[in-house]
Structure 1
Amino acid sequence: MGKPHVIVIPYPAQGRVLPLLEFSQCLANHDIKVTFVNTEFNHEKVVKSLSDSDNVTELVNMVSIKDGMEPGDDRNDFGKLTEAMDRVMPGELESLIEKINTKEGDDKITCVIADGLLGWAVEVAAKIGVKKASFWPAAALTVISLLNIPKLVSDGIVDSNGRILKNQMIQFSPTIPPMHSTNFIWASIDDQATQKIIFNMLSKISITSKLSDWNISNSSHDLEPGAFSLFPNIRPVGPLLAGNRLGKSVGHFWPEDSDCLAWLDQQPINSVIYVAFGTLTISDKTQFEELALGLELTNKPFLWVVRQDIATDIDEAYPKGFKDRVHNRGRMVSWAPQQQVLSHPSVACFVSHCGWNSAIEGVSNGVPFLCWPCYADHLFNQFYICDEWKVGLELNKDESGIIRHAEIKDKLENLLSDKSYKERVLNLQAKTMDSVRGGRSRENLNNFIEWIKDN
């Protein structure tokens, strides 16, 4: 009898590849054979971004399958991508498993661990008769909102295509925070055809979650006690990176600028404003300029992640003379080793889009937030950060929908001068670290590993 062999397959987005690859390394370190399946498009980017010091390929076998899109297609067209994936990837995954099982002998695939958005992967696992688990990289609160889609439709809050029929606050249980109907993930999609495609995909989640033997969440009970009390079959095993002693994630789509760490070494303790908005956020020229001016007005050192695709003609997007005026205290990079940045003692706060990975990385490193949510689950996560955990502040837009430089400057000054934000996030950090290193998250992880190994 060979060792247990799992297939791990993420939804093809940066924020979902990272935690699932971290989880894969964790399983590999517990003597489980792991085959990690990216799309061909993302596999190439991940492999290119690996540094010589990354040993992930020694632990995890990284392979790829087709996503159904043509080479020149826009993979940010989520409607087209979703339809292509549903059409092509189930067959691709089944063929890959058959190929592995033919070649590997005793080390046949024994379990499929799929991103919670990839219900078809769970169905493939059920079809071939192996164990199956759904991994949720987002907050449990987000998962609960998706599991309640059938109820939202029956209650007339949304129609069968996902269109919002009632603008109102909704609370699925007294134990979890209320949410507004216009903040649901699919509601941020402007194109109705795309919204319908994504909504139909999300509508199936309540079925495939029941089909899974395990539902795992990259969260902790201390972060979301109400959510896990409401749905105890979703078991937290995170935050995964909090248990990584090196504080270094792998699986990025772009090479990291590690030189910024040496720059951070030169800054005073608890002084640097770190600014990063994830992988998909796009900024118009006016908003980009307002952010630059707001950072300049703080008169504090800042590290700003400015992706080349974050704005049109990025080199011309900065305010005139900005780079010259801030060159002694401001550093702009195309991509940063975020976990190492957030753990650096010079970092004082995190201006964030509030993606779940960023939220839990900030908490795990005891860094307070200035919240700049953009779409999808960001508004749910901002509610946690500002209203539930009280470890950050939110920004207000003016009547034209722009966050002005004065608002940015004032909120940063408030955040950095009020020490209670830092105290609360350090308290939450301690609880979170205890959970992942020896509490409920660790216990759930150990039980999951034993379940995989139990033949």
Structure 2
Amino acid sequence: MGIPHAILVPYPAQGHVIPMMELMQRLVKQGVKVTFVNTDFTHKMVTNAMSEDDKLNDLASLVSIPDGLEEGENRFDLGKLSDAIYRVMPEKLEELIEQLNGNDDGEKVTCIVADTCMGWAFGVAKKMEIKGVAFWPAAGVVLASLICIPKFIEDGIIDNKGTLMKKQMVQLSPTMPPITSADFTWLSIGDIKTQQSLFDLILKANEFMELADRIFCNSAYELEPTTFTSFPNIIPIGPLLASNRVAKQIGHFWKEDSTCLTWLDQQPKGSVIYVAFGSFTLFDQKQFNELALGLEMTNRPFLWVVRENMKNEGIINKTNSRGKIVGWAPQQKVLSHPSVGCFVSHCGWNSVLEGVSNGLPFLCWPYFADQYINKLFICNVWKNGLEFDKDESGIISREEIKNKIEKLLEDNEWKVRGALDLKEKSVVGVGKGGHSDRNFSSFIDWIEDRG
């Protein structure tokens, strides 16, 4: 009998690939063979961004299958991408598994771990009589809110197309912190058509999740105790961060600029404002300029991750006196650097976990999807950060940016009371004997049991 062999299938977006890659690293460390299946398009980005020293364990291999779209088609059109994926990928995954099972090494595929947004893979697992595991890369509370959609429809909060009918605070269970219905994940992405496509995708994902044998989540019991108590079928195994293994993170779509680490070495302890908005966020030019000028007005050093498509050279040259601007940063290393004092973030879940694990306070600037609920946790539940307020024209002004940064950095309470307490909790979960550690160990035992 060969060693267990898991196939991992992430959703093709940066925030989904990185934690799944980290799950791969954990699995191979426990002696599980892993075949990591990206789409052709994502695979090319990931492998191009990997450097020479990003060596994979011999048990890990990266492969790819088509996503159903042609070379130049728009992969930001979520409806179009989802339709193409459903049409093409299940059959391609089956073919891949048959090919892997036909190899002479005797290590047949025993388990498929797929992103909940790629739930069609659980249908493939059932058909091929192998174990199927759903992996949710974000906060448990967000997955719980998606599971509660039928109740929201029944209560008239949304209609059956996902349109918001009542703006109100909702509690997913009596013990859980309230969230606002306007922050439901699908309501802040694109136009009405895109929102409905995403809602349909979620409904499909919920149906497919019924086929999964287990549901794992990249969070920790210690961070969301009421979520995991109220929804015991969602099992936390996070935070899945390379820094917890003292290793380098892989799975990025762009090459990292490590020159910023040398620059950070030259800054005073706790002085630097780190500003990064993930892979999707786009600003209009006015808002971009206000942010640049607000950072300049703080008279503090700042490190700002600016994608090429966001740059305004005139403004950037003006702010360059005390700031450093990079195209993509080795974020886990940056956030663990002693010079960094706070994190201005879009509140994507990977960034939240990375900031929390390093004891940093947040300034929240959510943009779409789950980021609004994450912000709610940071500001209202964990109390390790502040949010920016927009003016009447919907802009966060340079004065607001300067004032909130100063409030956060000058009041040491934020760091001591919220951020460091939370860091301790996140470390405990993945430490030996913590909730996440025990859940992961039982996952490994279950994969190894061929019954």
Q: TM-score, length-normalised on structure 2?
A: 0.97
CA contact (8 A) 1:146 1:205 kept: no
Match of 2:32 in 1: 32
Q: Secondary structure at the match of 1:11?
A: coil
CA distance in 1, matches of 2:203, 2:178: 20
Matched, 1:384 2:371: no
Which shows bigger deviation, 237-246 or 389-398?
Answer: 237-246
CA contact (8 A) 1:79 1:195 kept: no
Q: Which amino acid aligns with 2:49?
A: S
Q: Which runs of 5+ in 1 are unaligned?
A: none
Match of 2:218 in 1: 218
Match of 2:139 in 1: 139
Q: Secondary structure at the match of 2:308?
A: coil
Match of 1:399 in 2: 392
Match of 1:375 in 2: 368
Q: Secondary structure at the match of 2:368?
A: coil
| Pairs aligned (count) | 448
Structure-2 change in CA distance of 1:242 and 1:67 (3 Å): closer
CA contact (8 A) 2:101 2:108 kept: yes
CA distance in 1, matches of 2:71, 2:124: 26
- Deviation string, structure 1 residues 134-170 (Cα, Å, up to 9, x no partner): 1110100000011011222222222222111222221
Q: Which amino acid aligns with 2:30?
A: H
CA distance in 2, matches of 1:79, 1:147: 20
CA distance in 1, matches of 2:136, 2:165: 28
How much does 1:104 deviate? 4.4
Q: Which amino acid aligns with 1:426?
A: L
How much does 1:248 deviate? 2.5
Match of 2:426 in 1: 432
CA distance in 2, matches of 1:37, 1:190: 28
Match of 1:178 in 2: 178
How much does 1:242 deviate? 6.4
CA distance in 1, matches of 2:190, 2:52: 42
How much does 1:196 deviate? 2.0
How much does 1:56 deviate? 2.5
Structure-2 change in CA distance of 1:315 and 1:399 (3 Å): closer
Q: Secondary structure at the match of 2:103?
A: helix
CA contact (8 A) 1:247 1:339 kept: no
CA distance in 2, matches of 1:193, 1:386: 31
How much does 1:105 deviate? 4.5
CA contact (8 A) 2:256 2:329 kept: yes
CA contact (8 A) 2:242 2:249 kept: no
CA distance in 1, matches of 2:344, 2:376: 15
CA distance in 1, matches of 2:341, 2:59: 35
Matched, 1:333 2:326: yes
Which shows bigger deviation, 114-123 or 243-252?
Answer: 243-252
Q: Which runs of 5+ in 2 are unaligned?
A: none
How much does 1:193 deviate? 2.6
CA distance in 1, matches of 2:382, 2:227: 14
Structure-2 change in CA distance of 1:208 and 1:370 (3 Å): same
CA distance in 2, matches of 1:400, 1:104: 64
- Deviation string, structure 1 residues 379-431 (Cα, Å, up to 9, x no partner): 10001111101000000000110000000000000000111111121111112
Match of 2:201 in 1: 201
How much does 1:59 deviate? 4.4
Q: Which amino acid aligns with 2:445?
A: E
Matches within 5 A, 1:263-342: 263-309=263-309, 311=310, 314-316=311-313, 318-319=314-315, 322-324=316-318, 326-342=319-335
CA contact (8 A) 1:391 1:422 kept: yes
Q: Which amino acid aligns with 1:349?
A: C
Match of 2:349 in 1: 356
Structure-2 change in CA distance of 1:53 and 1:75 (3 Å): same
Question: Which 4+ stretches in 1 moved above 6 angstroms?
Answer: none
Matched, 1:82 2:77: no
CA contact (8 A) 1:270 1:346 kept: yes
Percent identity among equivalent residues? 53
Q: Secondary structure at the match of 1:211?
A: coil
CA contact (8 A) 1:49 1:253 kept: yes
Matched, 1:110 2:110: yes
- Deviation string, structure 1 residues 20-59 (Cα, Å, up to 9, x no partner): 0000010001100000000000100100111111112644
- Deviation string, structure 1 residues 221-249 (Cα, Å, up to 9, x no partner): 11101100111111111101166332531
CA distance in 1, matches of 2:208, 2:66: 22
Q: Which amino acid aligns with 2:339?
A: S
Q: TM-score, length-normalised on structure 1?
A: 0.96
Matches within 5 A, 1:49-60: 49-56=49-56, 58-60=58-60
Structure-2 change in CA distance of 1:291 and 1:306 (3 Å): same
CA distance in 2, matches of 1:93, 1:260: 40
How much does 1:173 deviate? 1.1
CA contact (8 A) 1:242 1:433 kept: no
CA distance in 2, matches of 1:296, 1:22: 36
